[in-house]
Chain A
Amino acid sequence: MLTISGEIDASSSIDLDQAIARCLTESKNDLLIDCTALNYISSAGLGVFMSYVEEFKNRQSRMIIFGLNPRVAHTFSLLGLSDLLTVAENRTEAEKILNEA
């Protein structure tokens, strides 16, 4: 599981990119991303998530994002990303989605 916190903007999105890339290198398993402590995300961070959708699909594994606060969830909704990214309410729901898959 990957935990991200604070603010993800064009400056810090490279850290998110490297962290997901590292998870992909270290494991072929599904990836849960805990965003409970994420306070802000700009398009640069959203773009990082989007850029890995195909990668996870090709590996037949899943990336599930959970714990978005209302502000961050609103940013996701502005772009209508819910059809492309798997977003769960909390960790329990995220694990349930994995177990159902």
Chain B
Amino acid sequence: MKRRHTIACSLSNLKGVRDFIRESISEQVTNNITSEDVVLALDEMCSNLMIHAHQCNPDHTIELMLDTTNPNCLVVEITDDGNAFDINAFREPELNNLVNEKRKGGLGIRLVKSIMDSIEYFERNGAKVCRLTKKIQ
């Protein structure tokens, strides 16, 4: 089953995004820790896009698609017509550097990479698509 959610790029919409993900994957991902890990990873992806690609402009939208058809693998696509924000090209800062520099950002990408099994980018119909997968035990 595929479920789609169009999200206006306002950080106040993140709570609704998390609720949509929890509801969409509840039957496929029964392990609560795995389920909440996925919610966290996708929250990080959406907030990164809202902030870095859309400057939190609520007139801009991104689309989230969750495909739970395969019981062993969750497939997520985030479609976006903003500037590409390829997290594979982003080098995560060392934790000690974050502390020394009193930086508040940089942890989200580390979380996404540690939770999801694959992250790839491609273009479809002129829009940028980020496809993430998570194997389900």
Q: List the interface of chain A (C-beta within 8 A of B).
A: 7, 9-11, 13, 17, 40, 42-44, 46-48, 50-55, 71, 74-75, 78-81, 84
Q: List the interface of chain B (C-beta within 8 A of A).
A: 11-12, 14-15, 18, 32-33, 36-37, 40, 43-44, 47, 50-51, 95-96, 98-100, 102-108, 110-111, 114-115
A54–B105 contact, CB under 8 A? no
A54–B115 contact, CB under 8 A? no
Given A42-B43, A43-B44, A9–B104 Cβ distance below 8 Å? no
Chain B residue at minimal CB-CB distance from A80: B95
Given A10-B11, A80-B95, A48–B43 Cβ distance below 8 Å? no
Shortest Cβ gap from A44 to chain B (Å):
7
Interface majority SS (helix, strand, loop, mixed), chain A: helix
Interface majority SS (helix, strand, loop, mixed), chain B: helix
B95–A84 contact, CB under 8 A? yes
Chain A residue at minimal CB-CB distance from B115: A78
A81 CA / B51 CA spacing, docked (Å): 24
Given A47-B105, A54-B102, A81–B43 Cβ distance below 8 Å? no
A47–B103 contact, CB under 8 A? yes
- B107: which of A47, A52, A55 is its contact (CB, 8 Å)? A47
B15–A78 contact, CB under 8 A? no
Given A71-B36, A74-B33, A51–B108 Cβ distance below 8 Å? no
A44–B47 contact, CB under 8 A? yes
B106–A47 contact, CB under 8 A? yes
